[in-house]
Structure 1
Amino acid sequence: MFNLLKEKRLLDISGAGNPDTLRQIREEEQNRLAAVLSSSPVMDLNRDLNELHDALIGRALQLAEIEMARLGLGAPPVPYAYVLFGSGGRREQTMSSDQDSGLIYGDPASDEEAERFESYFRTFADTVVYYLIGTGYPPCEGGVIASNPEWCLPIREWERKLDGWFDEPSWENVRYLLIVADGRQVAGDEGLWERWNNRFHRDVLGHPVIARRMMENTLRHKVLIGVFGQLLTERYGESAGTLDIKYGAYIPMVNVFRLLAVQAGIRETSTIARIEALEKADILSEKEAREAIEAFSLFLMLRLMAVAKDEGGQWVGTGKFPANKLRREWKAPLKKALKLGRKLQRQVEREMRRRFGGR
């Protein structure tokens, strides 16, 4: 029955002719998933949800290509790759995820081609982003989105941008490199993505100062457990009494395993896949990997549950979970998982300082 539902969903998405239909499919599927959230294995539900997101985004790209042809602008003049960053790149989107994206396209051979390609792909990216907004994905507030000209470039310009970030490791540039580390091609030309991804991984291992700056960025979010093992809730404002699952549990663990994976040359982007790859590389023991996966799965479940519908029926999520709704049977595992997160942060800090120096 599950496979039949999945096949029907994919058929419905592939046959959708506009963003309104895509949004309706998305809402129906997310309502179905929300109904079984507390009773389903979280990793199975996460996989199903993120396959839904990928399919919807892929269809929005196809519809944008059709619209470009309808406008008389033709097919893409050169291959392109559409890339997801953030939770999309990690295959960890919730029901309220926004758009974190970039677009890479083939190099022009002349100034005339450069102008023509730029005009085409900026219009195309604007159309894709508009369609995805219509499907229920708001744009990234930080501007990491394909409709931003800084994130829609030919491959050669992307490589120059990477070089600039590596050569000038300011806080902002290191943040961009960490964003790129989570990048994943969701549609288009695989060769363009592989070229850019190879450039990133080749250069990141050759810049010790980058590793140190990545560590500083990685450790800035503290785990929400106190020195006496108590859960730390928000104290003020509308969020008072909530647990900041996103920034006090989920993001710290994402950050730790991203840094460990990047430094080990591992190219997986999902946190679970990174943990498994680190175990295979003998960087984590079997016990450490098992405990990390258990902890992260709990964080992921609570993050998915920290999403609800607003008065207009739109899925919204702050990443904050009311402490008074935390089930009794979750409290001990959550404290254990948070202690592990804090331990991992300290271990990473010690190891990175030993290898690369710093304060």
Structure 2
Amino acid sequence: MTEWSKDERMLSIATAGSPQELKGRRTACQQALLEQLNVIPIEEWVSKVNAMHDLIAAAAVNICEAQMKEAGYGPPPCAYSFIVFGSAGRQESTLWSDQDNGLIVGGEPDNVKLTYFTAFGELLSDVLEAVGYEKCEGRVMCSEPLWRKTLPEWKEQLNSWMSQLEWEPIRYLIIASDMRHVAGSAELSAEWREAFHAGFVGNDKLTTAVLRNTVRHKATLNLLGQVLTERFGDYAGGFDVKYGVYIPLVNIVRHLALLNAVKDSSTLKRLARLEVLGEYEYLQEIREAFLTALRMRVNTPHTVQDGLLLSSDYISENDLKNKQLVSELRESLLLVRRLHRALQRQLRSAERRQS
């Protein structure tokens, strides 16, 4: 298959006229991407995967607008923005990532907007599910009122999360920190982002609260520095690469980014911005470990169901017999442990100052 035909498959996504057609073009495109896995650099491959997801999301938005007109709702009553969070927000989605998204609606709330965008958000989430994106177990979706608001309501919500400083609102705020614009009004997304970052300026208690959430993670190495695998259940003998190494690195870099007013959402872009500051010595080590985590995550065993990929994000017990893989994993986990211990010391120091 030529590079031109792969690009053509990617571009064909934009012209899909129905969820079924969009799903078919997605499966064709992801097959071409699978052929490139472990052939091109991992950061380039992940970038291509996420470019595909963005095209699909934008096409789904267009399909929903057309279906809303057919259903008698007419065109959108105002400007709006479709935004993504989680791995999609960081441009780190796998081929099996689920939904993490929201809507920003322009202007003050009113009944016309409420009626239209309630129906639109629910329809869009359903269309994305039909295209192959499972609904988020945590309900971070544009079908949910918490993640579908007018811009003034969003600003009020962000302020509320920032003022409470408890585990749950800070968890929501951390999710929000990875927001990225995908379709609709880029101006609304930019104003949302400015409001978000303004809340962190000079707010030591807020950054400490984020740090408190950041330092919690599951144990991944024993006292001898050996990799801890799952003891029971369906993945006994395997290793949870997503929550064991990938998410801890994402969390550490996010914390540093928020601390230094870095507005990028991608982990690699955050690292690049932090490197320019020249204040941290270990950023290259983090970058290498993060790329290792990305590569391991996209190579976890997967199954195909109705043309779509499913994975547990666990490295299998059999793959853990590969000595080089285990050595790379262990090095990354040792770095995570070292960084977490440093952050825990920072947290204790910050809490003493603020008590």
- Please give the TM-score of this superposition, normalised by the length of structure 1: 0.93
> Which amino acid counterpart does residue 285 of structure 2 have in structure 1?
E
Q: Is residue 212–residue 353 contact of structure 1 (8 Å, CA) maintained in 2?
A: no
Deviation at 1:220, TM superposition (A): 1.1
Identity among equivalent pairs (%): 34
Q: Is residue 23–residue 134 contact of structure 1 (8 Å, CA) maintained in 2?
A: yes
Q: Is residue 90–residue 182 contact of structure 1 (8 Å, CA) maintained in 2?
A: yes
Alignment partners' CA distance in 2, 1:230 and 1:178: 30
Alignment partners' CA distance in 1, 2:113 and 2:187: 18
Alignment partners' CA distance in 2, 1:202 and 1:11: 37
CA deviations over 1:66-97 (Å, ceiling 9, x no partner): 11222232221111011100000000101111
Alignment partners' CA distance in 1, 2:51 and 2:2: 14
Deviation at 1:124, TM superposition (A): 1.2
Report matched runs for 1:1-359 at 5 Å.
3-108=3-108, 114-222=110-218, 224-285=220-281, 288-310=282-304, 312-326=306-320, 327-355=322-350, 357=352
CA deviations over 1:211-270 (Å, ceiling 9, x no partner): 222112111113522221211100011111001101110010000000110111001111
Tell me, what secondary structure is at the counterpart of 1:72?
Answer: coil
Deviation at 1:9, TM superposition (A): 2.0
Q: Is residue 212–residue 347 contact of structure 2 (8 Å, CA) maintained in 1?
A: no
> Which amino acid counterpart does residue 296 of structure 1 have in structure 2?
F
Q: Is residue 307–residue 315 contact of structure 1 (8 Å, CA) maintained in 2?
A: no
Q: Is residue 243–residue 322 contact of structure 1 (8 Å, CA) maintained in 2?
A: yes
Q: Is residue 95–residue 307 contact of structure 1 (8 Å, CA) maintained in 2?
A: no
Q: Is residue 208–residue 356 contact of structure 1 (8 Å, CA) maintained in 2?
A: no
Alignment partners' CA distance in 2, 1:89 and 1:223: 26
> Which amino acid counterpart does residue 101 of structure 2 have in structure 1?
S
How many residues end up aligned between the 2 structures?
A: 353
Deviation at 1:102, TM superposition (A): 0.8
- Please give the TM-score of this superposition, normalised by the length of structure 2: 0.94
Q: Which runs of 5+ in 2 are unaligned?
A: none
Distance 1:167 1:2, change over 3 A: farther
> Which amino acid counterpart does residue 199 of structure 1 have in structure 2?
A
Alignment partners' CA distance in 2, 1:236 and 1:330: 22
> Which amino acid counterpart does residue 349 of structure 1 have in structure 2?
Q
Alignment partners' CA distance in 2, 1:153 and 1:200: 14
> Which amino acid counterpart does residue 167 of structure 1 have in structure 2?
S
> Which amino acid counterpart does residue 229 of structure 2 have in structure 1?
T
Distance 1:129 1:205, change over 3 A: same
Tell me, what secondary structure is at the counterpart of 1:239?
Answer: coil
Tell me, what secondary structure is at the counterpart of 2:81?
Answer: strand
Tell me, what secondary structure is at the counterpart of 2:318?
Answer: helix
> Which amino acid counterpart does residue 341 of structure 2 have in structure 1?
R
Alignment partners' CA distance in 1, 2:13 and 2:283: 36
